[in-house]
Structure 1
Amino acid sequence: MSYRPEPGSVPESPGVYRFRDAHGRVIYVGKAKSLRQRLNSYFADFAGLHPRTQTMLTTAERVDWTVVGTEVEALQLEYSWIKEFDPRFNVKYRDDKSYPYLAVTMGEEFPRVQVMRGAKRKGTRYFGPYSHAWAIRETVDLLLRVFPIRTCSAGVFKRAGQIGRPCLLGYIDKCSAPCVARVTPEEHRALAADFCDFMGGNTGRFIKRLEREMREAAAAEEYERAARLRDDIQALQRALEKQAVVLTEDTDCDVVALAEDPLEAAVQVFYVRGGRIRGQRGWVVGEVDENGPGELVEHFLLQMYAEAAPEAVPREVLVPAMPPDAEALAELLGERRGGRVEVRVPRRGDKKTLMETVERNAKEALVQHKLRRSSDLTTRSRALQEIADALGLEQAPLRVECYDVSHLQGDDVVASMVVFEDGLARKSEYRRFAIRGMAGQGDVASIYEVICRRFKRYLEERSSSGELDPEPIDPETGKPRRFAYPPNLVVVDGGPAQVAAAQRALDELGVDDVAVSGLAKRLEEVWLPGDDQPVILPRSSEGLYLLQRVRDEAHRFAITYHRAKRAKSLTESALDEIRGLGAARKQALLRHFGSVKRLRGATVDEIQEIPGIGRATAEAIVAALKGEST
């Protein structure tokens, strides 16, 4: 690189560095314990770097750095620069949906309780986030019995003051009606402060106070007041029941979990206060490169807590993997909180169980995000056009077929063909292939055979009296022929060797109107026939995302078939040893019982009911299957 720093010019101190493009814009910000070692790693072996990092280095025109005294200062400066410059190559977390919060506007003269979304405002206390706005409203409705604070808008509040009459909530005692001066601003603010204390987890003292007042009212024979206090206690208890108790009452922690694939990651956080889950929130990382789970966690915690209120930072943060600079990060969070903060990975017990629950939610969030993304017509159209541009196709590939091979050390070799039309899976068009006589031949030979078989069938089904039939519908059944529709693009799971095998099969069959490409798993490289270098699609590209989905679906379909075939072959191998049991009787057994599992659980009398199988054979089958299962 022309802008590589001179040897010995980079200090070995901790610091933060910035890569800039030709226009001086910051495109990447990073931190390091040793600036010299970190920057040297970028320039030492360019070919061994991640494609996204290679793109960043070729886009950059210069690099500069700032030396700091400690790793904590490096974390702070890195976050400040990322926020200031918004570099295009840094990891960015974004909410996977708009979460509602319960907000108390303590900055107003008469604080108000309301549901809020979006950016947080100064002087407002926030609780949550909640999954649904109705969950907030249910909680508020219960708590207004005990803490009758204002919930109306500024217009309604002003109007009530002008006419000297409160709204309905004021008449049913769910608002203390400060609009008509039933309470002073100080008394109303005290109610709002108590409401915030209760929502913040300090629940015990309110229930104990109400129980004491209820007993005193009953002793003084003020039974109506005692009954009202009893109802208030029940309302608080119902509000608490809506929040799941998962840990001991003195536990305040945030539980962070990740679910990732090569292109994206989903993050879920459960907020536990006073041993109860007070809220849940999710984020999606739009671009994932060489960052490991620990680095993703570090970036996430910095973005989540760097500007949070001190009370929003818990005593403990549970994470799926330790950040690289865990001690410095914990110190930084402790400074933000004004007390000690521990960052750790739970290893056992209730916290480990809760972490597993959060991980399941993260996986589900990633699945839902992918479904939302794939269902968008505009996004699918852009993905197909990006593929066409990257591969040099004349038009977008509306029909894409992907092939994958699955086996176990060369045995039970199978292959799959999945079909995506207009960016969506067409499962009715999926096909699977059993590949015989290919043990030890490898994936390349298997790909060649599968492509040959698929396109031979295509040529056979499209030919009629020696001429191509333009209508790929079977006139007898009225249904499409199984292999009559050709794809615009064939994708194979693999690199140059697999792509060359697929292209050779098409060339030998004379099929010249179908494009071929391969997607290699290691770096998500797209290979074309005869090219020495792969096509690198941007990691944020919708085209790469679609190719990855097609490849993953082919892999899933192939491995499912392989497992089923292997399970069947294992059982058949046990039946092969039984004298007098030929192929026809084996098929009759499987046809009658429907599955190997049911056959294994059958009795001698049940097996004997099948025509052609006597008692001695039935006993031999039961003995063989019991021995195979043990």
Structure 2
Amino acid sequence: MADPKSYRPATGDIPINPGVYRFRDEVGRVIYVGKAKVLRSRLNSYFANPATLTAKTHTMVHTAVSVEWTVVGSELEALQLEYTWIKEFNPRFNIVFRDDKSYPYLAVTMGDKYPRAQVMRGDKRKDTKYFGPFYPAKAIRETLDTLLRVFPVRSCSTGVFNRAQSSGRPCLLGYIDKCAAPCVGRVSPEEHRELAADLCQFMGGEGTRFIKELETKMADAVSRLEYEQAGRYRDDIAALRRVFERNAVVLSENTEADIFAVHEDELEAAVQVFHVRNGRIRGQRGWVVEKVEDSTPEQFIEHLLTQVYGEAAGDDRIPREVLVPVLPENADDVAAWLHERRGSAVSLRVAQRGDKATLAETVRENAEQSLRLHKSRRAGDLTTRSASLQELQESLGLPIPLLRIECYDASHTQGTNVVASMVVFEDGLPKKSDYRKFAITGEAARDDTASMYDVISRRFKNYLEESANMVPMVSGEVDISDAAAKAPARRFAYPPSLVIVDGGPPQVAAASRALADLGIDDIYVVGLAKRLEELWLPEDEFPVILPRASNALYLVQRVRDEAHRFAITFHRKKRSASMTTSLLDSISGLGPAKREALRKHFGTMKKMRAASVEELGQVSGIGPVLAATVFAELSKADTGAPAVNMTTGEVLS
């Protein structure tokens, strides 16, 4: 790691103007972008006593080898330039301008002495009632503002509430009758809790009852000639009705349904279900599960329904309708089973149109965001990531922090179409812009070890060539025009702290030999054997075994699985192209131009196979006779049986 004193600029050389600065590492990569009202003061703070720096800042200044700055005319210009550079360089130590908000809910903290109504996101809390979710957030904020007119529940923060108690004066909401002001004793704790309970009942689906009660009170006030009071009731009724109109998740009052949605990737799946009763969402549940078996969406839905309703019975637990994204494989049997569990008929179907389809789309968006939040919380939390990297470094006995990890995986089909992938994780997060794909041919494709040697050699030959052409980094001021100029792309110039290969000792030995043959001795290699998730170091007789609940193990599994996914995707694409090429090449009368015309017209082999003779004949240069020949050959390859000419009906040999 670099010593910050080695690149610290002289204080007198740093201007006192507003500006934007960039820290770069030893290979010239921008690792941090910041702005300052006074550049001299801000930059000097980074070179203070290391003991006074936070852990993140300490790591950053010791990773960097230079700092440069650009003077701008104002703080606004600095903000704009900072944002532009963060988007352009994606520095590893910048965390601003990222928004991973979850859906907002209307929450009432019934566990508090004075319950508070507020808009909340994130994890749910004990003794708090939630209603929603709502989207966009503006909708629920307007809804809450309207409801406070009829149910003047406390909505202020704890600090505001305590200050009002101490001063004996309520906040503004208390003066405009949007809060019952329990802070100054206008209502007792019991009366305020009843208001909060009424608000929960209204949001829970009993809105019609409250509106009818207010209509009765308004009529009584009119009969007593209390028109001013009647006018207030009228306005309260209008406010509650506006809430009904604004709430996009309201269905007809006789609707009782559970609406399911699933969003998945190769490793995990997020499930969301909204429980709709009396036309309103009464509850919501969500799960994120590991995909331990390779099941179709239809099979997944069947397993889901049997687990959710396996212990449920009666019409209070199983609704009249169950809406799913796709019907299970045995839809009739599952519907009959639900009928038996409920004691009456259950409609199991996919929502196609109307309000239910709209709500189903909202549930799907929740499932998608739930999986994204699950991934980002586990992998994106800075503390967890840092602990994972530190634990992995210590377990492997490495002397340097694992700022950049590269993982390599090979994929093939019985030795054909051999490809490999390189994925990159920086600070525990994937950096997809640095992913690379390798096509392997010749002797290098004979086995996995030869493929690994070839890929590592090619990657690090490029690293050595690009490193040799690098200009040394020097701290100092840069012209904004120079900073904006695009430097030549350096695809392999950034060396990893650790190389992970998918495999055991043979693959590790091949990768180590490739690095040694290139004269590289400062990059560490480890292999991850999938069978027992063992970590193999070069020339070690026994593997490193990480605890099953280890964050470090989760990290290396995630890196390996990402490399595997990337390799498989490339392999399938290459295999499909190869199959298309070889099949079309074998068709008599189909030259290069006509083959290319077919590929461009249909796009994929699947669409080409599904095309009729007439559709094939619509391609430029493909006549009726050639179209029939192409159709026959594609049909023969698809089924292995003699093809039938769809135009003439005759069997083609």
TM-score bracket for the superposition, by shorter chain length: 0.5 to 0.7
Matched residues, number: 476
Structure 1 residue aligned with 2:210, among 206, 209, 219?
206
- String of CA shifts for 1:394-414, please: whole Å, max 9, x gaps: 323444322222334554332
Q: Is residue 449 of structure 1 aligned with residue 451 of structure 2? A: yes
> 1:181 & 1:388 partners in 2: Cα distance?
59
Partner of 1:558: 567
Aligned to 2:118: 115
Superimposed CA distance per residue, residues 36-87 of structure 1 (whole angstroms, 9 cap, x where no aligned partner): xxxxxxxxxxxxxxxxxxxxxxxxxxxxxxxxxxxxxxxxxxxxxxxxxxxx
Structure 1 residues 126 and 459: CA distance shift in structure 2, 3 A: closer
Deviation of 1:235 after TM superposition, in Å, equals 2.3
CA distance in 2, matches of 1:581, 1:386: 59
Matched with 1:197 is: 201
Residues 1:235 and 2:239 aligned together: yes
Tell me, in whole angstroms, the C-alpha distance in 2 between the residues paired with 1:283 and 1:381. 26
Counterpart selection for 1:143 from 144, 147, 156: 147
Residues 262-306 of structure 1 deviation map (CA, whole Å, 9 limit, x = unaligned): 7x9978675655442256577889xx9999xxxxxxxxxxxxxxx
Question: Cα distance, 1:543 vs. partner?
Answer: 2.9
CA contact (8 A) 2:457 2:515 kept: yes
**Contact (CA 8 Å) 2:272, 2:286: kept in 1 or not?**
yes
Q: Offset at 1:103?
A: 2.8
Deviations 1:126-175 (A, max 9, x none): 44486798766533322233334565765677689x78xx8765665545
Matches within 5 A, 1:507-526: 513-526=522-535
| Separation (CA, whole Å) in 2 of partners of 1:289 and 1:607 | 43
The answer to whether 1:624 aligns with 2:630 is yes
Aligned to 1:75: none
Question: 1:217–1:593: structure 2 CA closer, same or farther, 3 Å change rule?
Answer: same
Q: Which residue in 2 is equivalent to 1:572? A: 581
Q: Tell whether the 8 Å contact from 2:102 to 2:369 is kept in structure 1 after alignment.
A: no
1:543 counterpart = 2:552? yes
TM-score (norm 1): 0.55
Q: Where do 1:302-451 residues align within 5 Å? A: 322=307, 349=347, 361-362=366-367, 364-371=369-376, 374-375=379-380, 379-408=384-413, 410-436=415-441, 445-451=447-453
User: Does the 8 A contact of 1:374 with 1:380 survive in 2?
Assistant: yes
Change (3 A) 1:225 1:370: same
Q: Aligned partners of 2:109, 2:625: CA distance in 1, in Å?
A: 76
Match of 1:471 in 2: 468
Distance verdict in 2 for CA 1:562–1:230, change over 3 Å:
farther
1:471 maps to a residue whose letter is A
Check the 8 A contact 1:252/1:272 in 2, yes or no: yes
Offset at residue 547 of structure 1 (A)? 1.9
C-alpha contact 2:587 2:630 (8 A) present in aligned 1? yes
Against the structure 1 CA distance between its residues 524 and 191, is the aligned structure 2 distance closer, same or farther, given a 3 Å change threshold?
same
Secondary structure, in 3 states, of the residue corresponding to 2:437? strand
Indicate if the aligned counterparts of 2:103 and 2:366 stay in contact, CA closer than 8 A. Answer: no
Counterpart amino acid of residue 108 in structure 2: A
Aligned partners of 2:153, 2:455: CA distance in 1, in Å?
Answer: 74
Residues in 2 aligned to 1:565 and 1:397: alpha-carbon distance in whole angstroms: 33
Task: Say yes or no: does 1:527 pair with 2:536.
Answer: yes
Q: Give 3-state SS (helix, strand or coil) of 1:547's partner.
A: helix
CA positional deviation for 1:528: 3.1
Deviation at 1:247, TM superposition (A): 8.6
Distance 2:402 2:291 in 1: 27
How many Å apart are 1:100 and its aligned residue?
Answer: 6.9
Partners of 1:478 and 1:193 lie apart in 2 by 63
Structure 2 distance, partners of 1:278, 1:577, is: 62
Pairing 1:26-65 to 2, within 5 Å after superposition? none
Tell me by how many angstroms 1:366 deviates: 3.4
Measured after TM superposition, the shift of residue 367 of structure 1 is 2.5
2:57 maps to: none
The Cα of 1:232 is off from its aligned counterpart by 3.1
**Deviation at residue 576 of structure 1 after TM alignment:** 0.7
- The DSSP-based 3-state class of the residue aligned with 2:500 is strand
CA contact (8 A) 2:276 2:283 kept: yes
- Deviates further, 487-496 or 372-381: 372-381
- Give the conservation status (yes or no) of the 8 Å contact 2:161–2:183: no
Native 8 Å contact 2:445 2:451 kept in 1: no
Q: 1:390 to 1:184 in 2, by over 3 A?
A: closer
Separation of aligned partners in 2, 1:258 and 1:456: 38
Distance 1:498 1:195, change over 3 A: same
AA aligned to 2:503 is G
Cα drift, residue 491 of structure 1: 1.6
Contact 2:273 2:284 in 1 (8 A): yes
* CA deviation after TM superposition for structure 1 residue 244, in Å: 1.6
**In structure 2, what is the equivalent of residue 71 of structure 1?**
none
Gap regions ≥5 residues in structure 2: 1-100, 294-302, 325-333, 336-346, 352-358, 472-485, 639-653
Task: Decide whether aligned partners of structure 1 residues 408 and 455 sit closer, same or farther in structure 2, where only a CA change above 3 A counts.
Answer: closer
Would you say the 8 A contact 2:584–2:595 is kept in 1?
Answer: no
Q: How does 1:159-308 map to 2 (within 5 A)?
A: 174=178, 191=195, 193-211=197-215, 229-240=233-244, 241-242=246-247, 244-245=249-250, 249=254, 251=256, 270=274, 272=276, 274-278=278-282
**8 Å Cα contact 1:103-1:115 kept in structure 2:** yes
Q: Which moved more, 1:402-411 or 1:183-192?
A: 183-192
Q: Distance in 2 between matches of 1:439 and 1:116?
A: 59
Partners of 1:617 and 1:250 in 2: how far apart?
A: 57
Distance 2:189 2:463 in 1: 84
C-alpha deviations, 1:433-458, integer Å up to 9, x for none?
223468996xxx13422422441564
Please give the alpha-carbon distance, in whole angstroms, between the structure 2 residues aligned to 1:384 and 1:560. 27
Distance in 1 separating the partners of 2:247 and 2:448: 57
Q: Give the Cα separation in 1 of the matches to 2:458 and 2:115.
A: 73
Structure 1 residues 607 and 289, CA gap change in structure 2 (3 angstroms): closer
Task: Give the whole-Å Cα distance in 1 for the aligned partners of 2:422 and 2:139.
Answer: 46
For residue 149 of structure 2, give the secondary structure of its aligned residue in structure 1: coil
How far has the Cα of 1:389 moved from its partner? 2.2
For the residues of structure 2 that align with 1:319 and 1:454, how far apart are their CA atoms? Answer: 43
8 Å contact kept, 1:581–1:617: no
**Superposed displacement of residue 259, structure 1:** 7.2
State the TM-score, normalizing by the size of structure 2. 0.54
Alpha-carbon separation, structure 2, partners of 1:571 and 1:260: 27
Q: Contact between 1:143 and 1:235, CA under 8 Å: does it hold in 2?
A: yes
User: Distance between the aligned counterparts of 2:271 and 2:601, measured in 1?
Assistant: 45
Give 5+ residue unaligned stretches, structure 1: 1-95, 292-317, 464-468, 609-614
Alignment correspondent of 1:70: none
**Gap change, CA 1:579 and 1:376, over 3 Å in 2:** same
Identical amino acids, percent of aligned pairs: 47
Residue 396 of structure 1 aligns with an amino acid whose one-letter code is P
**Structure 1 residues 413 and 341, CA gap change in structure 2 (3 angstroms):** same
Give deviations 1:486-532, integer Å, cap 9, x for gaps.
54433222344544554465567776554332223455332334555
For residue 416 of structure 1, give the secondary structure of its aligned residue in structure 2.
strand
Deviation at 1:248, TM superposition (A): 6.5
> Would the alpha carbon gap of residues 351 and 215 (structure 1) be closer, same or farther in structure 2, given more than 3 Å must change?
farther
Secondary structure of the structure 2 residue equivalent to 1:407: strand
